[in-house]
A and B are shown apart, each in its own frame.
Chain A
Amino acid sequence: MSAHNRGTELDLSWISKIQVNHPAVLRRAEQIQARRTVKKEWQAAWLLKAVTFIDLTTLSGDDTSSNIQRLCCKAKYPIREDLLKALNMHDKGITTAAVCVYPARVCDAVKALKAAGCNIPVASVATGFPAGQTHLKTRLEEIRLAVEDGATEIDVVINRSLVLTGQWGALYDEIRQFRKACGEAHLKTILATGELGSLTNVYKASMIAMMAGSDFIKTSTGKETVNATFPVAIVMLRAIRDFFWKTGNKIGFKPAGGIRSAKDSLAWLSLVKEELGDEWLKPELFRIGASTLLSDIERQIYHHVTGRYAAYHDLPMS
């Protein structure tokens, strides 16, 4: 894991004059999808790269050790062996970036990955996921327990009520406490942008989260009505770039929820490349939170290799 973001002192002047114009951001979002398209073998390469960014996720009430085990195995072998051989990529160690589960299932995930002989990290959601409306004491305790169980990445949710009432200082303090509770674990701060009300709030919340010491900022929990959309992502990526210009720290970005097709994932890669540049296209700085995306990417790769469209049962389940 790369060095942690130590964060900075709270400086409200970084967010006091910011304005975000929604229709203009919408127009830019449409443009990105239209103007950068990749085809043929470059598309296959981009798709394989996208696979290495996926945080393979299962966050349902009916998770048990059996489907966790299946998920971890899929994380180790995301694409069928013979397809990778056909592309001559079977020895490059292509796995997903992480596995993301609820805190109660962290033990199962760690065990399954150890059995499979894979050292990808286990990420756990915490702090009252997904709504975050529980007492601060229990939220911090959740983080500590998850870290004890073996999670090396923690996805926390911020307190939206603090954003909507403009209590930026209190938000900064809370995230600082999450940072301390994580210890050596990687902190991803979920902003739940669908519930923040306006793009200006999204920018301000991103800045506060980065100032308080997050290693990643994440768009959404995946459980809101509106999850990861391009306009919101553009605003967050601009915030990451501004933070980098001010402090020199590179913070990672993770969109989650609503990314289902391979075409979408290519658009996301283009977006990060356009707004931040190639240095951010690494698993240390970019993740995609998805579950069904992997099957769609596998089908696209199958089509590229064989020229035929696969049925879902042709490819191993996750």
Chain B
Amino acid sequence: MRTGVIGLILPPTFSFLEMMWRICPALAVGCTVVALVPPASPTPLLLAQLSGELGPFPGILNVISGPVSLVPVLASQPGIQKVAFCGALEEGRALRRSLAGECAELGLALGTESLLLLTDTADIDSAVEGVVDAAWSDRGPGGLRLLIQESVWDEAMRRLQERMGRLRSGRGLDGAVDMGARGAAACDLVQRFVREAQSQGAQVFQAGDVPSERPFYPPTLVSNLPPASPCAQVEVPWPVVVASPFRTAKEALLVANGTPRGGSASVWSERLGQALELGYGLQVGTVWINAHGLRDPSVPTGGCKESGCSWHGGPDGLYEYLRPSGTPARLSCLSKNLNYDTFGLAVPSTLPAGPEIGPSPAPPYGLFVGGRFQAPGAQSSRPIQDSSGNLHGYMAEGGAKDIRGAVEAAHQAFPGWAGQSPGARASLLWALAAALERRKSTLASRLERQGVELKAAEAEVELSARRLRAWGARAQAQGHTLQVAGLRGPVLRLREPLGVLAVVCPDEWPLLAFVSLLAPALAYGNTVVMVPSAACPLLALEVCQDMATLFPAGLANVVTGDQDHLTRCLALHQDVQAMWYFGSAQGSQFVEWASAGNLKPVWASRGCLRAWDQEAEGAGPELGLRAARTKALWLPMGD
């Protein structure tokens, strides 16, 4: 089902093609578009005029030409259902913060830097052409980080410098130019960057036939920039290439992944095995093998980490503008007086209401972190009541330290789990399903104490086991090949795990919702840190007893405690790759606001209840889409 009205915000230097790739899918699925473009470019206005000539459908494409200050105004208009922002990192962050709680969804596509990895088994001359395509032509969006294997450093630098000498820059109508200019602002930015780099001891090489007037800047090659210098932390601006050496392929992966940006990268190597290993290992949205900058509307293009997680092109691009049918339109849950600094900061203490009467319940559960039950850092527990007000049990009071430990444990378990074959993951999930069925009577009796009828309780347990099996089976699907016109060779659309997924479970359906969220996350190769239902976490903790014996340590971690406090810790954690929140409306707003820290993709319920027992909402394709991220792997072929 289509989303509605899309607000599209484009950066100061965008290409016509990029704009069309965002507008056309939106129109194709039935959304209407309002685009905000910088005042310097008249092309989108012409496009809007052409679309206005479609008599029966005036107003499907509207274009406003205005300055950057209009961005928050457009984004907070009541009629807009989704804002697609394309531009610089800081503006994207600010937009994310200001849109927390608004009814518009946000899709971010940030940053223009890309990466080129040159190994010693590459065709160096062709890789140099790849560098030209990436950084010194009108096709490349921004600067380039170039990683060259140490054994071919001298040769590669020599060929690069020779090639730079042949580049020509000038106005587009000249007919014999390689690249043009990107405006005065871009020119200032790159001048500052180069000055700073020089002052930190880098070597700067510039060449090429470039006019000396202001908006033109010569192609620049920076080497010997120490990685710890402040210059090396920011994005590389156009038209700079920052070159650094590496020793082995493993080191290359560490260096390449050691940056918050995750847009696109290319790997140059004639050894198939090495090229594929590097391609699969890079944490980016698009990988080209022995090519750079190839694009096609049928291939999804996007990023991960701080490059934002919105996609254009391919099936993922269409999903941006769709939402599952039957879900109601998102309501704004904005509460203007939510104090982000104090939300969830202090944990309200719970004192016992009176002397405890009745049989003593079982000893308090600890937190399930790192494969075993541990005592919480705060060394305290809180009582859990059942539906008739009696004491049901005690749960541990988890805090910030416990969250930190849980996320670390999840990260340690992640490489092993992600490296497992889909079959191995499926068998673990099936084993858990069998364990749940063996435990049916205990779980059913606990659910009864929470006020659920016996029959319904047993049905819930069976449904949970069935869901685990179903997701285990779905783990088989890895990725598929796309057909791209004009390219000889396959393009693979891979589905990769996100990393560590933080899930805050809803209060309703304490067992079913917990399992319905755990299963897809694990099936796609993620490790999880879960905060179970606040009203009755004991069911989740029962499941943990089985997980302790079946799962590798750290695969699933369950931390109980005050929901708001734990939500705060998880949302602000920079090393959590994605977050699913099914709590209150205020909590949703906080989670969206806090995700601006590392721009993690967030799925928040905004206080709406979800029918977990229905197939569409409890086990629908939306869960599978959100549990993994896409990577496009281009493999041009030919000899």
Tell me the A residues contacting B by CB distance below 8 Å: 19-28, 31, 35-39, 198-199, 238, 245, 274
Contact = CB atoms under 8 A, between A and B. Distances in A.
18 contacts: A21-B122, A21-B270, A23-B488, A23-B489, A23-B637, A23-B638, A24-B126, A24-B129, A24-B290, A24-B291, A25-B126, A31-B129, A35-B178, A37-B175, A39-B175, A198-B639, A238-B125, A245-B158
B166 interface: yes
Interface string B197-229: 000000000000000000000000000000000
Nearest to B152: A17
Interface of B: 121-123, 125-127, 129-130, 158, 166, 175-178, 268, 270, 290-291, 488-489, 636-639
B123 A20 contact: yes
A27 B488 contact: no
Nearest to A274: B166
A19 B270 contact: yes
Contact of B129 (A28, A35, A38): A28
Nearest to B268: A21
> Sorted from nearest, which 6 A-B pairs have the closest CB atoms?
A24-B126, A21-B123, A23-B636, A22-B638, A19-B270, A23-B638
B174 to A, nearest CB: 10
B505 to A, nearest CB: 49
A37 B123 contact: no
A1 to B, nearest CB: 29
Nearest to B487: A23
A26 B636 CA distance: 11
Q: Which one of B126, B637, B638, B639 has the highest number of Cβ atoms from chain A below 10 Å of its Cβ? A: B126
Contacts of B158: 245
Contact of A19 (B123, B130, B175, B489): B123
Give the interface SS of chain B, mostly helix, strand, loop or mixed.
loop
B136 to A, nearest CB: 12
Given A22-B638, A24-B126, A24-B290, 19 more contacts: A19-B121, A20-B126, A21-B123, A21-B270, A22-B639, A23-B290, A23-B488, A23-B638, A24-B291, A25-B123, A25-B126, A27-B129, A28-B129, A31-B129, A36-B176, A38-B176, A39-B175, A198-B639, A238-B125
Contacts of A35: 176-178
A20 B122 CA distance: 8
Contacts of B176: 35-38
B126 A28 contact: yes
A238 B126 CA distance: 10
Contacts of A36: 176
Contacts of A31: 129
Contacts of B291: 23-24, 27
Contacts of B123: 19-21, 24-25
Nearest to B489: A23
Contacts of A238: 125
Nearest to A238: B125
A25 B122 CA distance: 13
Q: Which one of A21, A26, A31 has the highest number of Cβ atoms from chain B below 10 Å of its Cβ? A: A21
A21 B125 CA distance: 9
Contacts of B125: 238
Contacts of B488: 23
A30 B611 CA distance: 56
Give the interface SS of chain A, mostly helix, strand, loop or mixed.
helix
Contacts of B636: 23-24
Q: Which one of B129, B489, B637 has the highest number of Cβ atoms from chain A below 10 Å of its Cβ? A: B129
A196 to B, nearest CB: 12
A288 B59 CA distance: 59
A25 B128 CA distance: 11
A194 B621 CA distance: 52
A37 B178 CA distance: 12
A49 B40 CA distance: 43
A186 B178 CA distance: 37
Contacts of A198: 639
A241 B268 CA distance: 22
Contacts of A19: 121-123, 270
A14 to B, nearest CB: 12
B288 to A, nearest CB: 10
A38 B177 CA distance: 11
A20 B290 CA distance: 11
A24 B178 contact: no
A265 B639 CA distance: 26
B126 A21 contact: yes
A245 B639 CA distance: 27
A199 B177 CA distance: 28
Contact of A26 (B130, B175, B638): B638
A315 B122 CA distance: 50
A274 B638 CA distance: 25
A20 B639 CA distance: 8
A22 B129 CA distance: 13
A26 B126 CA distance: 10
A198 to B, nearest CB: 5
A274 B168 CA distance: 11
Contacts of A27: 129, 291
Nearest to A235: B125
Nearest to A245: B158
A16 B333 CA distance: 67
A231 to B, nearest CB: 10
A22 to B, nearest CB: 4
B130 A24 contact: yes
Q: Which one of A22, A24, A26 has the highest number of Cβ atoms from chain B below 10 Å of its Cβ? A: A24
A20 B125 CA distance: 8
Contacts of A20: 123, 126
Contacts of B122: 19, 21
Contacts of B270: 19, 21
Contacts of B638: 22-23, 26
A21 B166 contact: no
A37 B172 CA distance: 12
Contacts of B637: 23
A31 B637 CA distance: 18
A183 B488 CA distance: 48
B468 to A, nearest CB: 45
A274 B132 CA distance: 14
A24 B130 CA distance: 8
Contacts of A199: 639
Contacts of A28: 126, 129
A200 B129 CA distance: 17
A39 B173 CA distance: 12
Nearest to B271: A19
A89 B220 CA distance: 42
B153 to A, nearest CB: 15
Nearest to B165: A277
Contacts of B127: 24
Nearest to B488: A23
Nearest to B293: A27
Contacts of B129: 24, 27-28, 31
A26 B291 CA distance: 11
A21 B290 contact: yes
A25 B636 CA distance: 12
B292 to A, nearest CB: 9
Contacts of A245: 158
Contacts of B268: 21
A311 to B, nearest CB: 30
B346 to A, nearest CB: 59
Contacts of A22: 638-639
Nearest to B269: A19
A279 B35 CA distance: 52
Contacts of B126: 20-21, 24-25, 28
A38 B178 CA distance: 14
A38 B174 CA distance: 10
A256 B137 CA distance: 31
A27 to B, nearest CB: 7
A25 B129 CA distance: 9
A36 B209 CA distance: 14
Contacts of B639: 22, 198-199
Contacts of A37: 175-176
